[in-house]
Amino acid sequence: MPAGIGSAAAPREHFASRLGFILISAGCAIGLGNVWRFPYIAGEYGGAAFILLYLIFLVILGLPVMVMEFAVGRASQRSAALAFDVLQPSRRWHWFSWWGYIGCMLLMMFYTTVCGWMLAYTAKMATGTFDGLDPEGVGGVFGAMLANPSEMVGWMLAVIVIGFFVCSFGLQKGVERITKIMMICLLGVMGLLVVRSVTLPGAAEGLAFYLVPDFGRMFAGGIGGFGEAVYAAMGQAFFTLSLGISAMEVFGSRIGKQNSLTGEALRICGLDTLVAILAGLIIFPACFAFAVAPDQGPSLVFVTLPNVFNQMPLGQLWGTLFFVFMSFAALSTIIAVFENLITFTMEKWDLSRRDAIKRTAILVTVLSLPCALGFNVLAGVTVPGIGDIQSIEDFIVSNNLLPLGSLLYVVFCVSRKGWGWKNFLAEADTGTGAKFPRWARGWLAFGLPTLIIIIFIMGYVPKIMLWCGLA
């Protein structure tokens, strides 16, 4: 018998409240992509027209996999370390337990560095670092930070210390309590920023660009342009929830059976989408009000927006609040994934929380160093078509582990060689609330895997074309 399975009936710490479960799960899903990717692609592909397309894919693609992760966790009452052995005692799926651990660890290897950027910019904005700087000077601040190994490593270590310190207090007193506070503050700060942004002179043009449905932009490139919009919506709906690496599975193992999992997943997806849409309501009106292009990616947050705040009345205050919001969004993910890694370690090797934190903290710190140093000391380490160390690690997680892991979750929950459809459905539907549609079995068996495979292949197409000299 595998270590730990014999203790499956032992008391397990659960969330103190349903709200805690929803906010922590949403906090894990809400990441920086909600802020610097979703608003840009929504505006580029037709505003509300794209958002509608995104919501369709969220329901048919992201939601079912989230329910599956929750179901595996709640039915087994174990993290990914032991869940598949509990539900499929033949141990045919034992190897898959490592998929989530490796995926979460790889995610933290670069996310700790990016979260460090948010903390650094909160301090820089609060202390007036950007006061009086022109756009080139603002860009220079970001470049100087990346080039400074001690600053990069210092902020990365600060993130790790904060994350594991919160986790050291346990699930209810640490992770749940602090994440609930952060998420409520995050939504409050976003509300203030939205009001400030949409009331700026000239903000209406940005609101129209973002929210008015424009199918012309969606079909601007003909069928090919529409195909790009579909793929962008499909990819955003899939990647925004960080599914496939068991990041959500552990939270399912920490809840009771009072509520159906489909209803809970709908609430979490809704909260994740709300944050993404609100981020656009902050960014587009502000950028259009000051005639600044809302560029895609990190440059939007670290170069474009500080320039906007420089031109805005009380810009230092609003800029500081924005980076507080960004820090909370990143830290909520950090804390949630740290808790996942700690729980996995506790169950896999039968360790106390204290010993699991020590082991995991050392491992995360060592493995995070290459990314922090990848913009300076190790700047020469690159892969053609992918980029620097951060981009390499992100590519491994986003383009490989997430889609393939999600596909394997689907197979495990639908196939008789895994847990099986009846067992999954019974667990998903236990409790009050929305039930998982029984007619969806065919979609889950054939349609959903097809979409996931398309996402996986399309992620490689531009890379292969570049590697083969066709781009």
* pLDDT tens readout for residues 140-181: 999 999 999 999 999 999 999 999 999 999 999 999 999 999
Which tokens go with 427? 């667990």
The Cα 151–Cα 136 span in angstroms is 21
- What pLDDT does residue 1 have? 37
Percent of the chain clearing pLDDT 70 (strictly above): 97
Residue of 194, 153, 218 whose CA lies nearest to 281? 194
Per the prediction, the chain carries an average pLDDT of 92
461: how many CB neighbours lie within 10 A of its CB?
A: 12
In this prediction, the residues of the chain whose per-residue pLDDT falls under 50 are 1-10
DSSP 3-state assignment of 468?
coil
- For 79, which DSSP code? -
- What pLDDT does residue 2 have? 43
The Cα 212–Cα 262 span in angstroms is 31
The Cα 279–Cα 273 span in angstroms is 10
- What pLDDT does residue 471 have? 65
The structural domains of the chain, ordered by start, are 18-464 (1.10.4160.10)
- What pLDDT does residue 190 have? 95
The contacts of residue 140 (CB under 8 Å, 6+ apart) are 133
Tokens 């793929």 -> residue:
231
**Residues 297-329: tens digit of each pLDDT:** 788 899 999 999 999 999 999 999 999 999 999
User: Do the beta carbons of residue 358 and residue 435 sit within 8 Å?
Assistant: no
Tokens 């495979």 -> residue:
453
356: how many CB neighbours lie within 10 A of its CB?
A: 21
The Cα 422–Cα 204 span in angstroms is 51
Whole-angstrom Cα Rg for the chain: 22
